[in-house]
A and B are shown apart, each in its own frame.
Chain A
Amino acid sequence: MENAPAAPHPEYDLLRPIENPGKSFYYIVAVLLVIILYTGYVYIRQVYYGLGVTGMAQPVTWGFYIVNFVFFIGISHAGTLISAILRLSKAEWRRPITRMAEVITAIVLAIGGLHPILDLGRPDRMTHLFYNGRLQSPLLWDIVSITAYFTASTVYLYIPMIPDIAILRDRGVKPRWLYEFLSWGWQGTEQQHKVLDRAMNVLMVVVIPIAVSVHTIISYIFAMTVQPGWHSTIFGPYFVVGAIFSGIAAILVLMIVFRKVFHLERYLKLIHFNYLSVLLLVMSLLWFYFTFSEYLTSYYGNEPNEMRVFWYKFRGAFAPYFWTMVTCNFLLPLILLSNRKTRTIPGILIASISVIIGMWLERLIIVVPSLANPRLPYPTGIYIPSHTEWMLFLGGVSVFILGYMMFARFFPVISIWEIQEGRQESAKAVTERITSYMPDPEPRYTGSMENE
């Protein structure tokens, strides 16, 4: 990788990872590739021998693959939802965050969307979904909505990237043809800016209902059955709230990592973390509200099958996971984030990691207990995930990290042109906006009152 002496640029910190990557990048990529290759081998073994290599059995016929499917797609809500909502509400503090968030969405959707394939007993028959799919099945709704969300979020990531790609093209960064190809002839003319603005305005609005629909439809996979613990009307909103919750935690972790690794302290300031972590706290309270409603309703209703699943989670085999989840999702974030003194970068990091773990546990707690406690008098199901399932989980996470690193290697993770736009125009735009909120000046009396 040759390096021409870098032309100075006010936002050089954001360009350095691309123009001057450094050796550790390659080491980490190598380690990740090894993990991913081994995961590939493990998966091929599963296809060859059958799903018997997992820990699933009757009645717990769904395990890690479905848990991770819901988990990864849940994290995807961070990106597009946050960046779309923050752009729509004209929150200026979003500028360094939106692209990072959008990249999470794109990568994690691809990984999550492939997880149902990992779960199939006959992945070789996947084309049956295309030739004979039944649109009545929630799984088909999922395919449609996840595809829609993936394409929407990719387009929504790409279009605001165009001016940045043009910056890289103009600086002659290699591979030149890639940036030429992707920049679509951007030159920063006023007309081009208008086109971009209009497109982003449309996308910002279109992407929100798609994003909400995705996790709602995933919740319908469970809610549309009659199984105790699943057949709940609250699942749609519950899953969306949980998704946004876990997504914000993911963005925070990523922001902290990049800030450290790329030395972005000038861009990701304490105030950004402050605002996002307050949002995380709000989502934690919201999550608790939904969870509380869900379980209080079951408990008060006292329907025997529901109560079996309830006690299995509260007192039975799943009690350790359940109470860990409550601690990770509610108690820890509440303690750490409501106090200004603990709302520091290390505090936020701990809270976010805790939320990610807690939300993964929540997916596990939704999928397994209802299956382990069938209505008819069978022995309670046991689920012990196997090496295959753990490896595929680790592999999925590795693919995410690798994908993100590859993105950061070729494109800036913070939107350079939006930062520059912010420097030049935001203060004026915001001042104008706030002035317009203030009451209009009193009308001037022209003196006619005095002259009777």
Chain B
Amino acid sequence: MMNRKLIDRLQILSLSLIWLLFTGGAVWILNLVKESLRLHDAPDASLGISLVAIPVFFTLSSVLTYVFIGLRKGRKKDVES
């Protein structure tokens, strides 16, 4: 049986990985925007898409984080590890 602490750590790790993934995605999109500006290759389309896509990803990870923290806070007090 895995103990509570290990599971807690794994949960926090998985959430951090999700943030890492979305941040990576945002960095990637911004990189592509930078390239398009450098090459003068439809910069307006690139900027437009990044303005929409990046907030969407961060909304999702924020919701997940909100749920994670909210569920921990809402726990009955006596089950603290």
Contacts and interface: CB of A to CB of B under 8 A. Distances in A.
Nearest to B48: A135
Nearest to A207: B60
A195 B71 contact: yes
Contacts of B42: 134-136
A189 B75 CA distance: 7
Contacts of A292: none
B67 A135 contact: no
Contacts of B33: 135
Contacts, number: 106
Contact of A155 (B32, B41, B63): B63
Contact of B70 (A140, A152, A195): A195
B41 A148 contact: no
Interface string A122-156: 00000000101111100011001101100110010
Contacts of A152: 56, 60
Given A148-B57, A187-B79, A202 B2 contact: no
Given A134-B42, A185-B75, A147 B59 contact: no
B17 interface: no
Interface residues of B, number: 39
B45 interface: yes
B36 A134 contact: yes
B71 A162 contact: yes
Interface in B3-38: 4, 7, 10-11, 14, 22, 25, 28-29, 32-33, 35-36
Interface string B45-60: 1100110010011011
Contacts of B25: 147
Contact of B63 (A186, A187, A192, A199): A199
A202 B68 CA distance: 15
Given A134-B41, A144-B29, A184-B11, A189 B74 contact: yes
Contacts of B53: 144-145, 148
Contact of A192 (B2, B14, B35, B74): B74
Contacts of A130: 28
Interface of B: 1-2, 4, 7, 10-11, 14, 22, 25, 28-29, 32-33, 35-36, 41-42, 45-46, 49-50, 53, 56-57, 59-60, 63-64, 66-68, 70-76, 79
Interface stretch (A173-181, A326-334, A380-388): A173-181
A196 interface: yes
Nearest to A184: B71
Contacts of A176: 1-2
Given A147-B25, A181-B14, A191-B74, 8 more contacts: A134-B42, A135-B49, A151-B22, A155-B64, A185-B79, A189-B74, A190-B74, A195-B70
A123 to B, nearest CB: 19
26 contacts: A133-B32, A134-B36, A135-B29, A135-B32, A135-B36, A136-B36, A136-B41, A136-B45, A136-B46, A140-B32, A151-B22, A151-B57, A155-B63, A162-B71, A177-B1, A177-B7, A181-B10, A184-B11, A184-B71, A185-B72, A185-B75, A185-B79, A187-B75, A192-B70, A195-B71, A199-B63
Contacts of A141: 49
A319 interface: no
A192 B73 CA distance: 8
